[in-house]
Structure 1
């Protein structure tokens, strides 16, 4: 089957210089004010996917996902309002981008860049079933069409660069929303994930922010060493 042959194809790992250059481009996209909102929207998609997947895994009933033009999102599920399952569901959002980024890095290190793009496409299609607002549907359709065209028509070099760019973006962007929560301080919404976790566990929201930030930075470190294992020799 042609689709399976494409998805399971093994590609050579690019030269270290190209991998690092892709990382530098991704870092610029994360840091620049003009490009960050677009990157953040992509991070929000993965964030809400994290809530949704964990909610299902812990036995909650997924109700729907909404994505908003201000790059925020919300995932609604039904089940016990407290307990470990609810804590895991809430915590999963800010952990998901780094976790997916590390998974993508492992696939890329094994030469499975095309498989990574196909998995991303499947994720977008699965989320499309649960999105409950027009803007969210539009975002997922545009992203899905873009990834689909890339996997079907782009050459191996372009696919590889795109796959590495996605992985770097997830890894590098994951800590920034948490940092934004920390710097917001008392201006932070009381409905933010760390504030919900604080109410569920009686652990202060700032502590949760620091734990989530540490996890994201650890993911960035693991992902960087996986994508560019010689990076320490170059520093």
Structure 2
């Protein structure tokens, strides 16, 4: 492997024509995976990973310092960013978690069908490298390594169309997973430490309005995903 080969694999390739039948198989497999309890219990860790990295990335964009994060056996997680205890940066960082999987999922699918699968996979590898350094538990390290290994294999060895199809499937899992996470927090009996509850404490804006803001972003992400996938299914 030389610099030329790496450079070639981070270049966009232009529009990728996804044929309907293989894409349908990918989408059905993704939906089944999200709907089957034992499979979802594993995939949920991936959705939680994106949730926590959403906190981290937005925190860093707001000038906060990302010091570490953990994924737990109960499929929850926690990201730590250091900065002011209150203010817009803290609010934005706290808010970013629940929308992150849906936004990332829609973006993955949208970019994949436009030929950007390889650059996106390379960018994901960079993010995972930073995440690996900031991992603070054995489970977190394991999840990041597994996701990183699969991403690296797909980036280096996967055909262009396969890369695009996989990213569309992952995008669907993330979007549906985001809705499942939001439903869980909305129906929680003790929401005192949840992100919407913390946002309400930080801003005095009711928790239900923060939940509504999540719904709006997830709805927009779902719309983008549907607009990306449905035309491809017709071909």
Q: Same fold (TM over 0.5)?
A: yes
Match of 1:60 among 64, 68, 75: 64
Give 2:217's aligned residue. 215
The CA deviation at 1:230 is 6.3
State the secondary structure of the residue aligned to 1:149: helix
The CA deviation at 1:107 is 1.1
Q: Is the 8 A contact 1:182 1:209 kept in 2?
A: yes
Name the CA distance, whole Å, in 2 between partners of 1:228 and 1:7.
27
Give 1:29's aligned residue. 33
State the secondary structure of the residue aligned to 1:198: helix
Give 1:112's aligned residue. 116
Name the CA distance, whole Å, in 2 between partners of 1:193 and 1:99.
17
Give 1:224's aligned residue. 226
**Is 1:77 the counterpart of 2:77 in the alignment?**
no
Give 1:179's aligned residue. 183
Name the CA distance, whole Å, in 2 between partners of 1:138 and 1:222.
32
Q: Is the 8 A contact 2:18 2:113 kept in 1?
A: no
Q: Is the 8 A contact 2:19 2:232 kept in 1?
A: no
The CA deviation at 1:178 is 0.5
**Is 1:138 the counterpart of 2:137 in the alignment?**
no
Name the CA distance, whole Å, in 2 between partners of 1:75 and 1:174.
17
**Is 1:191 the counterpart of 2:193 in the alignment?**
yes
**Is 1:100 the counterpart of 2:104 in the alignment?**
yes
Using the size of structure 2 for normalisation, the TM-score is 0.89
Moved more, 147-156 or 75-84: 147-156
Q: Is the 8 A contact 1:90 1:193 kept in 2?
A: yes
Calculate the aligned-residue CA RMSD, in Å: 2.0
**Is 1:15 the counterpart of 2:19 in the alignment?**
yes
Residues 20-72 of structure 1, C-alpha deviation per residue, up to 9 Å, x if partnerless? Answer: 43222212211221211122110111111110011111111222111112111
Give 2:171's aligned residue. 167
State the secondary structure of the residue aligned to 2:98: helix
Name the CA distance, whole Å, in 1 between partners of 2:10 and 2:38.
33
Match of 1:38 among 19, 42, 51: 42
Query: Aligned residues, how many?
Result: 231
Residues 115-162 of structure 1, C-alpha deviation per residue, up to 9 Å, x if partnerless? Answer: 222222222112112112222111101211122122223344433332
Using the size of structure 1 for normalisation, the TM-score is 0.89
Q: Is the 8 A contact 2:199 2:207 kept in 1?
A: yes
The CA deviation at 1:16 is 3.1
Name the CA distance, whole Å, in 1 between partners of 2:191 and 2:219.
23
Structure 1 segments (4+ residues) deviating >3 Å: 154-158
Unaligned ranges ≥5, structure 2:
none
Moved more, 32-41 or 6-15: 6-15
